[in-house]
C-alpha cells in the first residue's frame, strides 16, 4: 500500500490561507455591509455575474399590435433582479403548422430592470411549445443588457393560455 506524503510547505501554506480567511471573515462580521447589499438588490447586473435562476408567471395579453403575428404575454419575474416581463411568441413555419399541437417557436423575453440606471434584459429564445401537454422548452442567448452573450433556457407550463416556469441565465460556458 502506497503512503501519501504532503510536503510540509504545502500544509503550512494551506494552514496560513485558512487562518487568513477566518480572520478576514471575523473582521467583516462587525462591519455594516448593508449599503453594498442594498445597491445590489434588484440589480440584474450585480446578481447575475455567475448566472440567474428566475421564476416567471405570465398572462396571455393577445396578439402583438406591432407585427400582428406574434402573441404577447405580460407578467413578472421573481428572483434576484426580477421585474416586469413581456414575452412575444411567434410560430415558425407555415400557418397550416399552427393547427398542430406542437409548435416550433421564436420568442423574445424582455425583463424590465428594477434598479435605476439599468437597461432591460432581452433574450431571444427558440424551441417548442406543446399546446396539448402545455409544456414549453426554449433555449437561446441574451441579446441586450449587461448579461449580453449569456445563455438562457426557459421551461414552463401553459394552463388556459397563461404560463409559469423558470428562466435560467448562465455564462455561455456554464450550460455546456
Q: Give pLDDT, residue 105.
A: 97
- Indicate if 140 and 165 belong to the same structural domain: yes
Do both 31 and 99 map to the same domain? no
Q: Are residues 130 and 157 in the same domain?
A: yes
> What residues in the chain have per-residue pLDDT under 50?
1-41
Please check whether residue 116 lies inside any domain of the structure. yes
User: How distant is the alpha carbon of residue 42 from its chain centre?
Assistant: 13
114 in a domain, yes or no? Answer: yes
In a domain, residue 82? The reply is: yes
Q: Note down the domain range covering 22.
A: 8-39
Domains contained in the chain, number: 2
Closest CA to 113 of 142, 86, 84: 84
Which pLDDT does position 15 carry in this prediction?
39
Same domain, 75 and 104: yes
The per-residue pLDDT for 43 is 66
How confident is the model at residue 174, as a pLDDT? 54
Query: What is the per-residue pLDDT across 34-47, written as a single tens digit (0 to 9) for each?
Result: 333 333 445 667 77
Question: Per-residue pLDDT tens for 100-127?
Answer: 999 999 999 999 987 778 889 999 999 9
Does any domain span residue 3?
no
Alpha helices of the chain — where are they, by DSSP H? 8-29, 34-40, 44-47
Residues 31, 111 within the same domain: no
Domain CATH for 120: 2.40.160
Statement: the pTM of the whole predicted model exceeds 0.75: no
Provide the pLDDT for residue 36. Answer: 38
The Cα angle at residue 158 between residues 115 and 144, in degrees rounded to 5: 35
Asked whether residue 108 falls in the same domain as residue 131, the answer is yes
Domain assignment present for 176: no
Amino acid at each position: 500500500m502506497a503512503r501519501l506524503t504532503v510536503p510540509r510547505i504545502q500544509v503550512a501554506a494551506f494552514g496560513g490561507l485558512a487562518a487568513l480567511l477566518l480572520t478576514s471573515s471575523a473582521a467583516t462580521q462587525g462591519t455594516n455591509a448593508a449599503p453594498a447589499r442594498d445597491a445590489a438588490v434588484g440589480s440584474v447586473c450585480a446578481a447575475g455575474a455567475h448566472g440567474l435562476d428566475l421564476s416567471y408567471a405570465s398572462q396571455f395579453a393577445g396578439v402583438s399590435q406591432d407585427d400582428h403575428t406574434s402573441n404577447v404575454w405580460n407578467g413578472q419575474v421573481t428572483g434576484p433582479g426580477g421585474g416586469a416581463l413581456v414575452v412575444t411568441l411567434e410560430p415558425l413555419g407555415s400557418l397550416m403548422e399552427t393547427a398542430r399541437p406542437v409548435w416550433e417557436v421564436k420568442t423574445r423575453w424582455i425583463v424590465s430592470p428594477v434598479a435605476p440606471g439599468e437597461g432591460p434584459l432581452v433574450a431571444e429564445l427558440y424551441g417548442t411549445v406543446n399546446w396539448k401537454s402545455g409544456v414549453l422548452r426554449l433555449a437561446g442567448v441574451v441579446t441586450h443588457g449587461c448579461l449580453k452573450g449569456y445563455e438562457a433556457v426557459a421551461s414552463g407550463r401553459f394552463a388556459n393560455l397563461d404560463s409559469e416556469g423558470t428562466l435560467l441565465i448562465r455564462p455561455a460556458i456554464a450550460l455546456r
